[in-house]
Amino acid sequence: MMQSMGNTDSQCPEVMPPDISVIIPMYNEQENAADTIQRVADTIAISGKTFEIVPVNDGSTDDTLAVLHRIASGDDRVRIVSYDTNGGRGKALRYGLEAARGRYVATIDADLSYDPAYITQMARVLDQEQDVDVVLASPYMKGGSAQGVARERLFISRLGNRILQMAVPEEIHTLTCIVRCYRRDVIESLDLESDGKEIHLEILSKVLAMGYRVKEIPAVLTSRKRGASKFAFRATALSHIVFTIFQRPSLLFGFLGLVLTLIGIGLGIYIVALYYAEALNPNRPLITLMILFILGGIQILSFGFLASQVNLLRRDVLQSRKAISRVFSALPQKSYDSPEGHKTLSEKKSA
């Protein structure tokens, strides 16, 4: 069961959306929840922008939800989204993005391994550069850094991002960071499916395919101060590999096809050399192997070509979706708040 708690005013038929919505996925973050929300609120308040904070309780088994309810009861800028079963960061972000109402939608970690000041910095970029649609905080670009992060984890993260860079058409140094800020129309044009941390890659892949412009700003990544890390190496590595192959199938099919074709050509040269040396044994299946390797290599190369064409078709479909989304966003919008106020989604369905 998913619950959404909003602070609304039933006397006001229409409420202006805030400048910034901040989505914070939380799973067993009772130690961080209060401090994180307070620091985010204090930071944005200084900027003078209106905002809402949308913490998403991702099926926590500790007292995270109780802490969030206590905070929301005293601050109408905090709107809780919660469900009972842990679904992963991707699910938490999808629910949070769906609930967000701001002109800009930012996402950040619950452990504040990135300073919340990056939220206002990213929003400032969107204010000043109208051709930028998404801003990413990047510890791996020039000017960024990592402090206090374990060497093994930092090495894996850097290596993973280097591999992922081969899969995207633009020079982006950090593809996996959660600290981002989007224009609202970008979020509205996306149809997201991922439940895990691969959602960061899914979003970036679709954003770039739709032709939105992405910009990075340097950031400092720090280690978690409280609570347990949710990092899972095997799942993260697998998602990175799958994403790279999906985005650039020519990397895999092209490499394998080229290797097999070259082996076949090498066998052909070897056969010719044996023939002229009068040492060719007709009982050896060298000619058959040569043909199989060359034909297999050419076939795999053709698979890579077809997969690349499918990827181009996917990009065209996403760009059409972007155009349709802009048409709908130009239509008159209904009120952002319902007179049903604090009812949960389950209560609304049963009403």
Provide φ and ψ at 38, rounded to 5°.
-65, -45
The C-alpha atoms of residue 73 and residue 220 are separated, in whole angstroms, by 33
In tens, the pLDDT along 8-29 reads 333 344 568 899 999 999 999 9
Q: What percent of the chain has pLDDT over 90?
A: 42
Q: Which of 24-28, 51-55, 192-196 has the lowest mean pLDDT?
A: 192-196
DSSP state of 307: H
Instruction: State the average pLDDT over residues 220-240.
Output: 66
pLDDT recorded at residue 40: 95
Instruction: State the average pLDDT over residues 213-218.
Output: 94
Give the pLDDT band (50/70/90) at residue 75: very high
342: CB partners within 8 A, 6+ apart: 5, 6, 7, 8
- Best CA proximity match to 109, nearest among 46, 41, 32, 188: 32
Instruction: State the average pLDDT over residues 38-60.
Output: 95
Q: Which of 18-22, 63-67, 295-299, 335-339 has the lowest mean pLDDT?
A: 335-339
pLDDT recorded at residue 208: 87
Counting beta carbons within 10 angstroms of the beta carbon of residue 115, is it exposed (0 to 12), middle (13 to 18) or buried (19 or more)? middle
Does position 83 have pLDDT exceeding 60, yes or no? yes
Instruction: State the average pLDDT over residues 193-199.
Output: 84
Give the pLDDT band (50/70/90) at residue 340: very low
